[in-house]
């Protein structure tokens, strides 16, 4: 869009080749993004009895279950001497943030099909807004993680202040994958079954309820290819002063995130033009 003396000029043409979402347009429509995020949060919390408590209850309940069955009964260790419940809770909070952002952004285009068929706005706003809501859940739930650390009498370090930096790292991976999946979902409806399955499998392929060290040394490189492994290790290093620096594995999310984000944005933008015709 270019501005002339007669107002902005919009040109509509068939487009091929590599295209990216128009970031300036998304910025101009930031009010829309804000209101979509607020809609998602309001609706989610209005519809449930427990409201915002859900953001806290879910990780706490899951951590409690794993603490009993894995921590106590199966005697699964944690890392760096952290009490198992705190270890599991911290991991679960980050994991639920990631899966929330991934699931919501993947589902977002199909669940907004009525909008897509009836009105124009930058389509990338749909998965983008969907992935932001879980950040709020994470912020709320993280307070409980800090509380749990204090209750168990564990030390807190200055590195705790770095925790906000994990948000863009995780969000890039989640939204990047979400952009790919949400565009594919419009055409392939079994994506709706694939994503929950990926989330379930991912819980066991990421060091959430057991430590990274439990993975045999010669398989750690393969295990570390899952970008959430590096993200989780980096995050635990930020939260727990006794946790060791995870090393090169943190590069995986730092590289995979931007790669997924850029490729996902291009794929999404290419696909979105046909959404209204198939959705």
Partner 1 sequence: MSAPPAIRVQDLSKRYRLGATTTTLAAAATGLVRRLARRPLQDDALPDSREFWALRDVSLEIAPGEVVGVVGRNGAGKSTLLKILSRITPPTTGRVEMRGDVSSLLEVGTGFHPELSGRENVFLSGAILGMRRRDVAERFDDIVAFAGVERFIDTPVKRYSSGMYVRLAFAVAAHLETDILLVDEVLAVGDDEFQRRCLGKMRDVVGQGRTVVFVSHNLAAVERLCPRSLWIEGGHLEVDGPTGDVIAAYLRRVGSRQTGGVAVIAPEAERIGGEDAKFVETSLTDRSGIPLEQVALGQPFSVELAFDLAVPVDKGVLEVGISSPEHGRVATVQNIDGGRPGLVLDPGAHRFRVDIETTLLPGEYSVDVALHVLPSLTLDWVERVLTFTALNLAEEGEDRWPWAHVRGALRPDSRWIRLPAGDRTASRS
Give the position of tokens 């919390």.
45
**Nearer Cβ to partner 1 (69/188):** 188
**Nearer Cβ to partner 1 (24/39):** 39
**Nearer Cβ to partner 1 (34/69):** 34
User: Closest separation between CB of residue 269 and partner 1, Å?
Assistant: 12
User: Closest separation between CB of residue 204 and partner 1, Å?
Assistant: 23
Residue 149 burial (CB count, 10 A): 20
User: Closest separation between CB of residue 272 and partner 1, Å?
Assistant: 10
Positions that interact with partner 1 (CB under 8 A): 4, 6-15, 29, 31-32, 34-36, 38-39, 42-43, 46-47, 114-121, 186-191, 194, 273-274, 276-279
Residue 221 burial (CB count, 10 A): 12
**Nearer Cβ to partner 1 (124/170):** 124
Q: H or E element: which one contains 238?
A: helix 227-239
Alpha-carbon distance 231 to 239, whole Å?
Answer: 12
User: Closest separation between CB of residue 135 and partner 1, Å?
Assistant: 20
Phi, psi of 12 (to 5 degrees): -115, 120
Phi, psi of 246 (to 5 degrees): -70, -20
**Nearer Cβ to partner 1 (217/277):** 277
User: Closest separation between CB of residue 207 and partner 1, Å?
Assistant: 30
Contacts (Cβ under 8 Å, ≥6 apart) of 72: 84
**Nearer Cβ to partner 1 (116/148):** 116
Alpha-carbon distance 241 to 80, whole Å?
Answer: 9
Q: Which of these, 75, 127, 101, lies nearest to 228 by C-alpha position?
A: 101
Tell me the sheet residues that pair with 4. Answer: 7
User: Closest separation between CB of residue 23 and partner 1, Å?
Assistant: 17
Q: In angstroms, what is the C-alpha Rg of the chain? A: 20
């Amino acid at each position: 869009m270019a501005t002339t003396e007669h107002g902005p000029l919009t040109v509509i043409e068939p487009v091929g080749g590599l295209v990216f979402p128009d970031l300036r347009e998304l910025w101009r429509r930031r009010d829309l993004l804000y209101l979509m995020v607020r809609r998602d949060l309001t609706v989610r919390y209005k519809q449930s009895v427990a409201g915002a408590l859900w953001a806290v209850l879910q990780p706490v309940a899951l951590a409690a279950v794993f603490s009993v069955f894995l921590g106590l009964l199966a005697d699964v260790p944690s890392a760096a001497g952290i009490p198992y419940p705190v270890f599991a809770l911290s991991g679960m909070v980050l994991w639920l943030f990631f899966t929330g952002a991934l699931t919501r952004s993947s589902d977002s285009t199909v669940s907004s099909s009525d909008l897509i068929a009836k009105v124009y706005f930058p389509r990338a706003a749909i998965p983008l807004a969907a992935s932001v809501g879980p950040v709020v859940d994470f912020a709320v739930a993280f307070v409980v993680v800090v509380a749990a650390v204090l209750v168990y009498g564990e030390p807190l370090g200055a590195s705790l202040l770095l925790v906000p930096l994990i948000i863009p790292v995780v969000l890039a991976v989640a939204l990047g994958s979400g952009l790919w999946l949400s565009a594919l979902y419009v055409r392939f409806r079994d994506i709706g079954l694939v994503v929950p399955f990926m989330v379930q499998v991912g819980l066991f392929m990421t060091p959430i309820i057991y430590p990274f060290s439990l993975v045999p040394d010669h398989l750690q490189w393969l295990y570390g290819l899952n970008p959430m492994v590096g993200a989780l290790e980096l995050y635990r290093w930020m939260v727990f002063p006794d946790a060791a620096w995870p090393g090169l594995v943190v590069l995986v999310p730092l590289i995979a995130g931007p790669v997924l984000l850029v490729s996902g944005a291009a794929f999404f933008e290419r696909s979105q033009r046909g959404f209204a015709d198939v959705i």
